[in-house]
C-alpha cells in the first residue's frame, strides 16, 4: 500500500510519520474486517474480547475491573459492553455476596455456544488478513512489533 496515495498526500512523508500512518491504516482495516465478520452475531470486537476473557475463566466469576485490565482495547467502557452482553443473554452479572459493590460476571451457555461459532468466523478472517504473509513473514512481523513494547 502506498500511504501517500491512500491519504492523497502530495508530499512524501518522513519515514517515521509514514510508518505511524501506515500502522494506523492497517489497524483500521483489520478492525473493519473483524467488525464485518462479527456483524452477523450482533457483537463488536470489544464484546467478542469480553466473551473470550470470560471463557478463559472456565466457569469462575470475574470482577468488572479484572475484565477491564485484560481488554485488548483499554478505551472500552466495560460496563456498557457487559450490559449489552447481558441483554443478549450471553453473560450474567451478579452482586458479589462478600462485597456488594463488586459485580461478578460469568459467560452463559448461550454465550459460550455463540462464541464458539464466532471463533471460526474470526479465525477465517485472521487467515484472510494474513493470507499474503508466509510463516516466516509473520514471525518477523511479530518480532518487529514486539519492539514497540
Are the CB atoms for 4 and 13 separated by under 8 Å? yes
Helix (H) or strand (E) holding 92: strand 91-95
CA distances to 4, 56, 64, 112, 120 from 126, rounded to whole Å, are 26, 20, 28, 20, 10
Go through the domains of the chain in sequence order and give each one's CATH number.
3-130 (1.10.10.10)
Q: Number of helices (H) and strands (E), helices first, in the chain?
A: 7, 3
94 phi and psi, to 5 degrees?
-130, 150
Instruction: Give the residue-averaged pLDDT of 43-61.
Output: 95
Question: What are 64's strand-pairing partners?
Answer: none
Output the pLDDT for position 5: 74
User: What pLDDT shows up at residue 123?
Assistant: 97
Does pLDDT of 1 surpass 70?
A: no
Q: Looking at the predicted structure, is the pLDDT value of residue 148 above 70?
A: yes
Task: Write out pLDDT tens, residues 11-35.
Answer: 877 889 888 888 999 999 999 999 9
Q: Is 132 exposed, middle or buried (0-12, 13-18, 19+ CB in 10 A)?
A: exposed
**Stretch 28-54: mean pLDDT:** 95
- Least confident stretch, 6-10, 45-49, 54-58: 6-10
Q: Which residue has the higher pLDDT, 40 or 74?
A: 40
With cell 500512518, the residue in question is 21
- Distance between CA 90 and CA 106 in Å, rounded? 9
| Confidence (pLDDT) at 76 | 63
> Please, what is the average pLDDT of the chain?
90
pLDDT in tens, 71-119: 987 766 888 999 999 999 999 998 877 777 778 999 999 999 999 999 9
pTM for the model: 0.86
- Inter-residue contact 30 to 67 (CB < 8 Å): no
Amino acid at each position: 500500500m502506498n500511504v501517500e496515495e491512500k491519504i492523497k498526500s502530495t508530499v512524501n512523508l518522513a519515514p517515521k510519520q509514514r510508518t505511524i500512518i501506515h500502522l494506523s491504516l492497517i489497524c483500521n482495516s483489520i478492525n473493519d474486517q473483524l467488525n464485518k465478520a462479527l456483524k452477523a452475531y450482533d457483537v463488536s470486537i470489544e464484546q467478542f474480547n469480553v466473551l473470550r476473557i470470560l471463557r478463559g475463566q472456565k466457569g469462575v466469576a470475574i470482577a468488572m475491573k479484572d475484565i477491564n485490565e485484560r481488554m485488548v482495547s483499554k478505551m472500552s467502557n466495560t460496563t456498557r459492553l457487559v450490559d449489552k452482553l447481558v441483554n443478549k443473554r450471553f453473560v450474567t452479572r451478579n452482586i458479589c455476596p462478600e462485597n456488594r459493590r463488586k459485580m461478578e460476571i460469568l459467560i452463559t451457555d448461550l454465550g459460550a455456544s455463540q462464541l464458539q461459532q464466532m471463533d471460526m468466523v474470526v479465525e477465517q478472517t485472521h487467515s484472510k488478513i494474513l493470507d499474503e504473509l508466509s510463516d516466516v513473514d509473520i514471525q518477523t512481523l511479530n518480532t518487529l512489533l514486539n519492539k514497540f513494547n
